[in-house]
Chain A
Amino acid sequence: MKKFNIYIVKRFTISSIIHAFLITVSAACIFPLLWMVGTALKTQQTVFSDLSLFPKHLHWENFYIAWIQGKFWLYFLNSVLYTTVVVTAIVFISSLAAYAFSRLKFPGRNFFFYMFLAAMMIPLPGSFVALFVVLKKWHLTEGLILPRLGYIIALINVGLSLSVYIFKTFFDQIPDDLEDAARVDGCSRLGIWWHMAMPIAKPAIAVVVIFNALNVWNEYILAMLILQENSLMPLQRGLMVFQGAHMTQYPLLMSGITLSVIPIMLVYIFVQKYIIKEITAKTAKVYNG
């Protein structure tokens, strides 16, 4: 009996230590974000005197001021525009290509596929230099419309390789009979892709959308190089511009940052299962070669 108790105590102690460890790290993760929101709700006067995490008087008007006067509404809409267009385009372009790589026969099929694969593997630090040079040469950095186009296509290109790869691995698993049945029903190749492959590929589409949307929403460097006009800038670029212009307006800056984080957090709550599932599946592949 006594031995049994010791066993329980030991187990309880170990589990408490583990939880204490996990909770400490969790707090370290969340704390900067709470501090960010707390600061966003203080005023320029209280931000230096009020040390509390949750200020007594909540100044929600900061969000309004940041949104209207800080022009974050503009940056926000731009980010929404870029993310929507780029992700939609990636889904269509990469799934079409992946379907061809998986199902259709033509000379050079493997060559083109390995080309995308290689682009995924080879690290190209500072690839933005050449991209900028090329875009400039094509006049895609001038005016108010062309930079948008240049930025969008550049970002499509960034997400293409990984998306083609994700779609191809998925299409490879679809059994041939399904496709044969569709062909017997008189579906064209384009029809099979659209009516048969794409509806089945919803999980793959979800993964492609999630990873690319995160990527585009958080993109900074190309936005910095390509988009010089205020009216074209997405949130990340807008935040840096705001910080440069109003160094000490911490509450407004933190309001702007909070506004840029809210959509990501909302989406994350719903899709985190997919993210973890995808990473787990990719990791399992490491074992099997």
Chain B
Amino acid sequence: MDYIKKTRYITFNYLFIFPAVAIFSLFYIYPFIKVIHLSLSQWDGIAFKPSAFVGLLNFKNILFNDTANWWASMGQAGYITLWALTFQNILALLLALACDRAIKAGAIYRFIFFIPPILSEVVVGLVWWWIYDGNWGLLNQWLTSAGFAHLAHNWLSPSLEEGSRLMVRMLPLTCIAIVHCWKGFGWAFIILLAGLQNIPRNLYEAAKVDGADAWEVFWRITFPIMMPVMILVVILTILGAMQGFVLILAMTNGGPYYYTEVPVTRILDSMRNGHFGFACAQSLIFGMILLILSFSQFKLSRKMQKA
């Protein structure tokens, strides 16, 4: 009797988590297993079942035979990430330091800086696509009216007449990277500001009494205390910038040529071309790379905290 009661009690408890676990199993775990299964097969997405088990062939092809496409796209995502890590995060840190000084109107700045992050990537991409537009975009109109007509470009698809091969290769990607920073710096700013505000004020006062100048205060107090928060920002920046792709779909859709492709748009392309197994293998490899990156960052931060 008691046993039945207890079983009923526990079963009822399971009902609380049942909806969440059911959805999670069907839409997260099952697809996850499916990814592993498909990555080992060849499948056009139309036939009822994957046609052939090919073992690690997809992985081998991606790692060794598809360098031009896959690793190039990885490098392009890395380039955007580099911009985000340096330009975006240094800007965010400077802004956070400025706002931390208890200045008036700090709340307004905070409000404004977080507007780009709440907009969708489609909206941001389409608005900037129009700003960069080669014929009638705002940027060229501005440059022309300011007397810099020679600087006007087809920003997102420059032709070889406009400049060097290198420029044609890098200009669209750089434009995208800048938009990515525009959209993302608000996040880094809010997190860094929160970190700064957690630093006890009396530390600053003590340093002042000891005669430290602003530079010394930053390097001796702010910087070491902020280390964990900054590593968090770095991890989030890397994960965000490497995986971002909707912005690219809205602005260039991977072009010109394949110069603005990133791994996720590559995965999307493989999928659209009916190489589902290949797409799954690509996402597994990319996921592993991201996991290793963020895990080593995390380890590094633990080590530094102990030291």
Contact = CB atoms under 8 A, between A and B. Distances in A.
B287 A125 contact: yes
Contacts of A33: 115, 127
Nearest to A155: B27
Interface string A258-281: 001100110010001001100110
Contacts of B30: 134
Nearest to B46: A136
Contacts of A76: none
A25 B229 contact: no
Nearest to B95: A25
B194 interface: yes
Given A257-B127, A264-B119, A107 B31 contact: no
Given A220-B121, A254-B130, A283-B194, A129 B13 contact: no
Contacts, number: 234
A157 B271 CA distance: 22
B86 to A, nearest CB: 16
A204 B32 CA distance: 29
A122 B293 CA distance: 12
B16 A104 contact: yes
A163 B166 CA distance: 46
B149 to A, nearest CB: 14
Contacts of B101: 18
Given A47-B136, A220-B246, A164 B264 contact: no
Interface stretch (A54-62, A64-72, A176-184, A236-244): A236-244
- Residues of B contacting A: mostly: helix
Interface residues of A, number: 84
B24 A126 contact: no
Contacts of A28: 182
A130 interface: yes
A260 B30 CA distance: 34
Interface string A4-26: 00000000000100110110011
A126 B279 contact: yes
A40 to B, nearest CB: 11
B152 interface: no
A136 B43 CA distance: 14
Contacts of A228: none
B190 interface: yes
B156 to A, nearest CB: 13
Interface in B195-215: 195, 197-198
Nearest to B111: A272
Contacts of A101: 17
Contact of B20 (A94, A283, A284): A94
A124 interface: yes
A36 B118 contact: no
A165 B125 CA distance: 31
A272 B110 CA distance: 9
Residue among B23, B229, B271 with the highest chain A CB neighbour number at 10 A? B23
B194 A284 contact: yes
B259 interface: no
Interface in B1-45: 10, 12-14, 16-17, 19-21, 23-24, 26-28, 30-32, 34-35, 38, 45
Contact of A134 (B34, B110, B113, B271): B34
B211 to A, nearest CB: 16
A125 B290 contact: yes
Given A112-B17, A218-B119, A133 B27 contact: no
B283 A214 contact: no
B19 A93 contact: yes
A136 to B, nearest CB: 8
A274 to B, nearest CB: 12
Contact of A276 (B114, B116, B122, B229): B114
A127 interface: yes
A125 B120 contact: no
B119 to A, nearest CB: 6
A115 interface: yes
Nearest to A107: B10
Contacts of A236: 120, 122-123
A261 B14 CA distance: 41
B16 A29 contact: no
A30 interface: yes
A226 B99 CA distance: 43
B54 interface: no
Nearest to A104: B13
Contact of A286 (B38, B131, B228, B245): B228
Interface of A: 15, 18-19, 21-22, 25-26, 28-30, 32-33, 35-36, 39, 47-48, 51, 92-94, 96-97, 99-101, 104-107, 112, 115-116, 119, 122-127, 129-134, 136, 153-154, 156-157, 160-161, 164, 189, 193, 214, 217-221, 236, 239-240, 243, 250, 253-254, 257, 260-261, 264-265, 268, 272, 275-276, 279-280, 283-284, 286-287
Q: Which 6 A-B pairs have the closest CB atoms?
A: A126-B283, A218-B120, A100-B16, A130-B31, A97-B20, A157-B27
14 contacts: A35-B131, A112-B21, A116-B24, A129-B267, A153-B27, A189-B16, A218-B123, A219-B120, A220-B121, A257-B123, A264-B118, A276-B110, A279-B190, A284-B194
Given A126-B268, A130-B35, 5 more contacts: A124-B32, A125-B264, A125-B287, A157-B23, A214-B118
